[in-house]
Amino acid sequence: MEELTPASAYVRISVLTEESDSLARQEHAIRQFAKLRGFDVVEVRRDEGVSGVAKVRPAYEKWLDDARSGRAKVLLAYHMDRVSRGGLVALASLLTVLDATGARLMTVADGTDSDSPAFRLTAAVVAEVASAEHKSIRRRVTDRHASDRRNGYWTMPRPFGYVVERGRLVPHPAEAPIVRTLVERATDGESLRGLAAWLTAEGVPTSRGGDAWGMTSIRRMLRNPVLAGWYPHNGQAVRDDETGERVSVSDAPILTPAEWVTLQAALDARVKTGPTGRLVPAVGGERKHELSGLLWHSCGYTLAYNSPRGRQRTGRFGCGRNGANRNACAGIWVNEKTAEEWAEHAVMTRLAALEPGSDAFEAVASRWLARMDPTDDAERRAAREAVTVAEAEAADLEAARYERGEFPGPAGLTRWQKLYNRALARLDAANTVLGAFPDVTDVGGLADPAILAEALHGGGRAARRDLFTLVLDRVTVDRAEGAGRVGLGGRTPADGFVFVPTWAGEGDA
């Protein structure tokens, strides 16, 4: 009896469907092909749900290893596009294996045979066709998703808090109230980790049926513009190309636009960028000292507060970088009384010098408004954003017409003028809404030195911290030139330090 030639089969599909070239049907066709040609299929390598352009395809590598090890003399596949859609680059690596091992490659559907004299030319054409087809499929899918976004038609898995009805999102009767509770608690300052633990303990399933929530899942949910009924893409609300307005995907969203802006401001306040560029905990919340998180050493690390111990009568701030297993730092210790006296004087002096209507005044006033009247602050922010968007759209249209040379010819000019008039109309409307707000925000007693002094000296820790964080973003502290380092029990006079403040608004530039 004639000995059969050992062969290894490779089958692949990116999406598991019932189409004609499914994995089972590919394998069946290959086995029939092998039987007719006297091949013995010793292995079938399967890549399920793997793209033909994926860099990592475990079954494909094992298929090539069958040739490298000599286990298979023939490599079989249903079609060359099942082998790869990576074009000539992927084909080159395959040819390297065939040349090195002497193995034969054959495919069923398109009749590829590496023993054919025209194999390399034919394989190159087929590989490029497969690659072009992949790009075409990807482009069609991308275009479909873009069309869905423009039309506010939801085709993705439902987000938690909603159900999908006829392509629109409708609040889930049980989940939507949970989302509102999460929003309220997050806005009030509760940690995302705590919210995740609460949902898990309550046995609330995720939108995909899971039973455990994580901090990342909560953050992603609360950051998703879909909560306000806007179609999201890459974490941002999609805007209509012509009107510039956010594309709506729900007629009854869980949050109003003002509630959405308030929530995002609360989340933004949780972290900020420190002097070294790292994300660090934002100023706010319960702290050991009202200046905790505000004071930084010039080396780029915060000054941690240490409560009084032993004979020490007061606490002090020390550089968090100075210590065992940390990078070298000269170190610094600042008596809390020294820091407090400087901060009180700086805040009172700064507020007394602010001129109503100035950028510095508005930076403080906007923070005050966000705390005292978050709804009004959210509406003002939304109005400012609308003006900014309208101005950017008008400027982009001007650049498109006069700099980039778009909208050529009479027909193009007519279309451009129509779009430009719409942009100007939206800008006028946005400015009208913004103009309804007072030019100068009322900051109450902040402008009265007597009331301010009473709040600073007679208020509790939380009240003092609120005042400090209204005016200051952070303070960089270092020893004054010529001042020496002191021991743990010693003191450094106030003029032994240099305090460099970053005022409210300065860090946003």
Condensed to tens digits (0 to 9), the pLDDT of residues 190-226 reads 888 888 888 988 888 877 677 788 888 898 899 999 9
Q: What is the predicted pLDDT for the residue at 489?
A: 32
Tell me the pLDDT band of 484, cut-offs 50, 70 and 90.
very low
- C-alpha distance from residue 458 to each of 186, 305, 316, 327, 464 (Å): 30, 22, 21, 40, 9
- HSE-up (13 A, CA, CB side) for residue 68: 11
Nearest-angstrom CA–CA distance, 373 and 280: 27
Find the farthest-apart pair of alpha carbons in the chain and give their distance in angstroms, rounded: 109
Nearest-angstrom CA–CA distance, 149 and 154: 8
Show the CA angle centred on residue 306, arms to residues 495 and 296, nearest 5°: 55
Show the CA angle centred on residue 10, arms to residues 8 and 12, nearest 5°: 170
CB neighbours of residue 317 within 10 Å: 25
Domain with CATH 3.40.50.1390 in the chain: 5-138
Q: Report which of 156, 149, 183, 191 is spatially closest to residue 255, judged by C-alpha positions.
A: 183
Question: Taking the model in full, what pTM does it have?
Answer: 0.41
- C-alpha distance from residue 143 to each of 133, 148, 155, 490 (Å): 15, 9, 13, 69
Query: Which CATH entry fits the domain spanning 5-138: 3.30.230.70, 3.40.50.1390, 1.10.260.40, 3.40.50.360?
Result: 3.40.50.1390
Whether 132 contacts 229, CB under 8 Å: no
Q: Report which of 149, 174, 150 is spatially closest to residue 162, judged by C-alpha positions.
A: 174
Q: What is the pLDDT of residues 422-472, one digit of tens each?
A: 888 888 888 887 777 665 555 555 666 666 666 666 667 777 787 888 888
Q: Is the pLDDT of residue 361 over 70?
A: yes
- C-alpha distance from residue 411 to each of 77, 393, 407 (Å): 53, 21, 8
For residue 306, give the amino acid letter: N
Q: Is the pLDDT of residue 8 over 90?
A: yes
Lowest mean pLDDT among 96-105, 237-246, 399-408, 458-467: 237-246
Q: What is the predicted pLDDT for the residue at 381?
A: 72
Q: What is the predicted pLDDT for the residue at 176?
A: 92
Q: What is the predicted pLDDT for the residue at 178?
A: 92
Look up tokens 């290894």; give the residue: 8
Instruction: Kindly state the DSSP code that residue 507 receives in the 8-state scheme.
Output: G
Q: What homologous superfamily is domain 162-268 in, according to CATH? A: Putative Large Serine Recombinase; Chain B, Domain 2 (3.90.1750.20)
Tell me the pLDDT band of 6, cut-offs 50, 70 and 90.
very high
Look up tokens 């200051």; give the residue: 472
Tell me the pLDDT band of 407, cut-offs 50, 70 and 90.
confident
Q: What is the pLDDT of residues 317-350, one digit of tens each?
A: 888 665 544 455 667 888 888 888 888 888 888 8
Show the CA angle centred on residue 84, arms to residues 133 and 69, nearest 5°: 170
Look up tokens 């790009």; give the residue: 135
Nearest-angstrom CA–CA distance, 477 and 343: 12
Nearest-angstrom CA–CA distance, 336 and 317: 7
Nearest-angstrom CA–CA distance, 345 and 254: 45
Q: How far is CA 392 from the centre of its chain?
A: 23
Mean pLDDT of the chain: 77
Phi, psi of 102 (to 5 degrees): 75, 10
Q: Report which of 77, 125, 129, 128 is spatially closest to residue 98, judged by C-alpha positions.
A: 77
Lowest mean pLDDT among 65-69, 288-292, 324-328, 374-378: 324-328
Whether 488 contacts 343, CB under 8 Å: no
Q: What is the pLDDT of residues 39-98, one digit of tens each?
A: 999 999 988 877 666 667 888 889 889 989 999 999 998 887 788 766 566 677 788 888
Instruction: Kindly state the DSSP code that residue 113 receives in the 8-state scheme.
Output: B
Termini Cα distance of the chain: 84
- C-alpha distance from residue 242 to each of 386, 423, 497, 499 (Å): 15, 9, 57, 51
Q: Is the pLDDT of residue 493 over 50?
A: no
Q: What is the predicted pLDDT for the residue at 491?
A: 39
What sections of 188-249 are H helices per DSSP? 192-201, 215-223
Nearest-angstrom CA–CA distance, 443 and 439: 12
Nearest-angstrom CA–CA distance, 182 and 263: 10
Q: Is the pLDDT of residue 306 over 80?
A: yes
Instruction: Kindly state the DSSP code that residue 217 receives in the 8-state scheme.
Output: H
Domain with CATH 3.90.1750.20 in the chain: 162-268
CB neighbours of residue 178 within 10 Å: 16
What sections of 355-440 are H helices per DSSP? 359-372, 374-402, 409-435
Nearest-angstrom CA–CA distance, 247 and 113: 52
Q: What is the predicted pLDDT for the residue at 95?
A: 84
Tell me the pLDDT band of 373, cut-offs 50, 70 and 90.
low
Q: Report which of 30, 33, 37, 106 is spatially closest to residue 67, judged by C-alpha positions.
A: 106
- Token code pair at residue 194: 């705590």
- C-alpha distance from residue 249 to each of 27, 231, 241, 324 (Å): 43, 6, 16, 54
